[in-house]
Amino acid sequence: MKMFHSQRRAARTASSRRRQGGNALVFSMLGLVIGGIVLALGIGYYQNSQANAQVQGTISEISAIIGGAQQNYGQYGYSGLTTAVAVGSRVIPDTRADAGGTTATNSYSGAITLVDNSAATPSTAKLSYANVPATQCTQLINGAQSLARRITIGTTDVKPLDGVIDVAKVNTQCTSAASVGIDFVFGRT
C-alpha cells in the first residue's frame, strides 16, 4: 500500500509540474502579445511625431523664405524675382538648393519655386511647394496661412486674396490627390 501512495504522490507532482509549465507558456505568450501591441503603438506614435516635425520644419522654412523675399525684394515690387535669383541670394536656404544653384527641392521631393507675381497681383510674389502629401497638406496650410495674402491648391483658391481660409475647400483640395501643389502669394507686408 505504501508503494501505491508514493506512486500517486509522484503522479500528482508530475501533473502539477505540467500545469505550472502550461501556465508559464500561457503567461509568456500573453507577455509577447502585449509587447507586440506596445511596439506597434510606439512605432505609430513615432511616425506621427516625425510627420509633425516635418510639417513644422516646412512651415518654418516657408516663413524664412517669405521673410527673406520681403526684406530683399519687396521694396522693388518683386520685379525680376526668380527661383534662380532667390537661390543665388540665399533667400531659399542652401539646404534646399539643387546642385546647379538655380533650382530648389523641398522636403517632400517636390520643386520650390519663387517668382514675381506682379502681373497677376501688383507688388506680389508667389512661393510654390510641389508634391506636398495629402496627409500633411491641411496642417501646412493652417500653419502658414498667416504668411500669405492668397493661397491656392492646384488651381483652387483656398484663401482668396486678402480673405480668410475656406476650411471646406482646404479639406476638399488637400484630399483630392495623394500629393498636391500649394501656392502662397504674398506682398510686402
More confident call, 14 vs 70: 70
pTM for this prediction: 0.75
Domains of the chain, CATH where assigned:
54-186 (3.30.1690.10)
Min mean pLDDT across 8-22, 42-56, 81-95, 170-184 is at: 8-22
Q: What is the pLDDT of residues 133-147, one digit of tens each?
A: 999 999 999 999 999
Instruction: Determine the pLDDT at residue 34.
Output: 83
Cell of 98: 539643387
Cell of 6: 508514493
Handedness of CA 40, 45, 46, 50 (dihedral sign): positive
Instruction: Determine the pLDDT at residue 189.
Output: 66
Q: Residue type at 34? A: I
Q: What is the pLDDT of residues 105-137, one digit of tens each?
A: 999 999 999 999 999 999 999 999 999 999 999
Q: How large is the average pLDDT for residues 37-66?
A: 82
* Distance, CA of 110 to CA of 85 (rounded, Å): 19
